[in-house]
Amino acid sequence: MWKGRFKHEASDLLKSYGQSVTTDWRLYRADIRGSIAHARALAGAGILTSAEFGEIEAGLNAIGSDIASGEFAFSEDLEDVHMNIEAELTRRIGAAGAKLHTARSRNDQVALDFRLHLLGACGEIAAGLRGIQRALVGLAGRHPSAVMPGYTHLQRAQPVLFAHHLLAYVEMFARDAGRIEDCAKRMDSMPLGSGAIAGSTLVLDREAVAAGLGFSRVTANSMDAVADRDFACELLAALAILGMHVSRLSEDIILWASAEFGFIELSDRHTTGSSLMPQKKNPDIAELARGKTGRLYGNLIALLTTMKGLPLTYNRDMQEDKEGVFDSVDTVLSTLAIFSEMLAAASFREDRALAAASDPLLLATDLADRLVAGGVPFRQAHEIIGRLVARAHELGTPLDRLDPGEFLAASPLLTPAVVAANFDIASAMAARRATGAPSPENVAREIARWTARLE
């Protein structure tokens, strides 16, 4: 492609070291779409005849079919997917193929193909997020009134509904979907026509090309258009945060599936055994997802590091932009798919969770709230109940089974009737009626809202 300037062939080691087709071949659909749109613009400018455009379009579509069927042999000598397709087109149709690169550089071609490909990926990721949200809402709907302990510092804190816990992750994944959508909006800018750096003296109708490819606008600065990889960095950042959410869910599942908790039962299809210990049933999907999150972080840092010192405009360092992005997209899509399947087949052990949530200490704060309702300042109420907790611990007695005289001595408001009502778990859950709190009524409303939204 540059033989006019050079007298000698490139070193075989250079060809091997510099090739990217083993990674970027997957851009072929975007490359063919972009090339057809570019050829149409060349025809509109009178640079191609209608017959030449027809040859190019038919030739590119045929190449695309061959690639999709696995019949196309990519050559590392041609560096990348773009030159492989262009060279094959020229071999098949002759002179018309050699005209395709008119008024175009690989710089704006790569920028276009990468954006087109990732815009499609954003749609797939959004669909994957809806899938895991549906699985979470479905599991919540199968156990709408199950009570479990909520934790802070991994210590039992207050009772919550299991469904409320799951819906917290539904909210997280909704924010992830919002980030993917925002990323796609900024990605939706068509760079083709920017050339290598300063456009071309052969002026094409960029707006028409953008409309034909489904872009809402064209890039405004040719230098920024070819040098920009913000869209890839932003997508990697969104996927890293998404991975963090999956990893936190994984940690909960790993804990809940342990014998110490015993809250959740994963299906045999989504667990593994041990090569040595016949009794083992391991939550490997959750563990793998927790581990793969590190790769999502690493891919983000790698691209940010690659880009941070580059002067305008294009530098060959930027060839390193795709492998990590492709890996992160693949990792997230496969993780969302397997998690959706695993959650759909999981069941919750309501009896084990209720037994853990029935620890009366989880309702100590509710008892302080009853003092507040009687006019006691909260800090004073907190201290009163704290002393009662310490007394129960000293006596080795559950908090709700302290002698009634202990409660009355702490405060005349803590009558036997008040104490008995406080430690009724159903009443305690029903009292959590504030917006966003886990009362059965609130949670049922949220399950219905998310079910309708995800449909």
Last residue of some domain: 338, 355, 372? 355
Of the candidates 16, 274, 347, 427, the residue annotated as catalytic is: 274
Overall size of the chain counted in residues? 455
* Residue 3 pLDDT class (50, 70, 90 cuts): low
Q: Is residue 163 part of a domain?
A: yes
Last residue of some domain: 76, 102, 128? 102
Residue with tokens 């920024």: 224
Whether residues 332 and 379 share a domain: the answer is: no
Give the C-alpha distances (Å, rounded to integers) separating 209 from 87, 100, 115, 189.
23, 15, 14, 11
Model pLDDT, residue 219? 98
Model pLDDT, residue 88? 98
Structural domain boundaries, residue 36: 12-102
Tell me, what CATH number does 274's domain have?
Answer: 1.20.200.10
pLDDT tens-digit readout, 407-445:
999 999 999 999 999 999 999 999 999 999 999 999 999
Q: Report the phi/psi class of residue 26: left, alpha or beta, with left for phi > 0 and alpha for psi in -120 to 50.
A: alpha
* Residue 4 pLDDT class (50, 70, 90 cuts): low
Whether residues 200 and 253 share a domain: the answer is: yes
Rounded distance, CA 451 to CA 455, Å? 6
Q: Is residue 4 part of a domain?
A: no
Q: Is residue 5 part of a domain?
A: no
Whether residues 180 and 89 share a domain: the answer is: no
Q: Is residue 33 part of a domain?
A: yes
**Which phi and psi angles does 147 have, rounded to 5°?**
-105, 140
Q: Is residue 1 part of a domain?
A: no
Tell me, what CATH number does 62's domain have?
Answer: 1.10.275.10
Last residue of some domain: 335, 355, 375? 355
Rounded distance, CA 452 to CA 455, Å? 5
Whether residues 392 and 329 share a domain: the answer is: no
* pLDDT at 1 exceeding the cut of 70: no
Cα angle at 41 between 39 and 43, to 5 degrees?
Answer: 70
* pLDDT at 186 exceeding the cut of 70: yes
Whether residues 395 and 295 share a domain: the answer is: no
* Residue 9 pLDDT class (50, 70, 90 cuts): confident
Model pLDDT, residue 2? 52
Whether residues 385 and 327 share a domain: the answer is: no
Query: Dihedral of CA 50/53/59/65: which sign?
Result: negative
Residue-wise DSSP of 106-137 = HHHHHHHHHHHHHHHHHHHHHHHHHHHHHHHH
Model pLDDT, residue 20? 97
* Type and span of the H or E element at 304: helix 284-307
> What is the reported pTM?
0.95
pLDDT tens-digit readout, 124-162:
999 999 999 999 999 999 999 999 999 999 999 999 999
Model pLDDT, residue 386? 98
* Residue 16 pLDDT class (50, 70, 90 cuts): confident
Q: Is residue 89 part of a domain?
A: yes
* pLDDT at 172 exceeding the cut of 90: yes
pLDDT tens-digit readout, 344-393:
999 999 999 999 999 999 999 999 999 999 999 999 999 999 999 999 99
Strand blocks (E) in 271-393: 347-348
Catalytic (active site) residue 145: no
Q: How many CB atoms lie within 10 A of CB 105?
A: 20
Q: Is residue 6 part of a domain?
A: no
Mean pLDDT of the chain: 97
* Residue 8 pLDDT class (50, 70, 90 cuts): confident
Tell me, what CATH number does 379's domain have?
Answer: 1.10.40.30
Catalytic (active site) residue 250: no
Whether residues 200 and 158 share a domain: the answer is: yes
Whether residues 366 and 298 share a domain: the answer is: no
How many domains does the structure of the chain reveal?
3
Of the candidates 8, 69, 153, 275, the residue annotated as catalytic is: 153
Give the C-alpha distances (Å, rounded to integers) separating 59 from 96, 117, 262.
10, 21, 60
Whether residues 192 and 79 share a domain: the answer is: no
Whether residues 185 and 315 share a domain: the answer is: yes
pLDDT tens-digit readout, 203-258:
999 999 999 999 999 999 999 999 999 999 999 999 999 999 999 999 999 999 99
Q: What is the DSSP letter of 436?
A: T
Whether residues 214 and 307 share a domain: the answer is: yes
Q: Which residues contact 399 (CB under 8 A, 6 or more apart)?
A: 360, 361, 364, 388, 389, 392, 423
**Mean pLDDT value of segment 113-125:** 98
Whether residues 346 and 368 share a domain: the answer is: no
Q: Is residue 7 part of a domain?
A: no
* Start-to-end C-alpha separation, the chain: 51
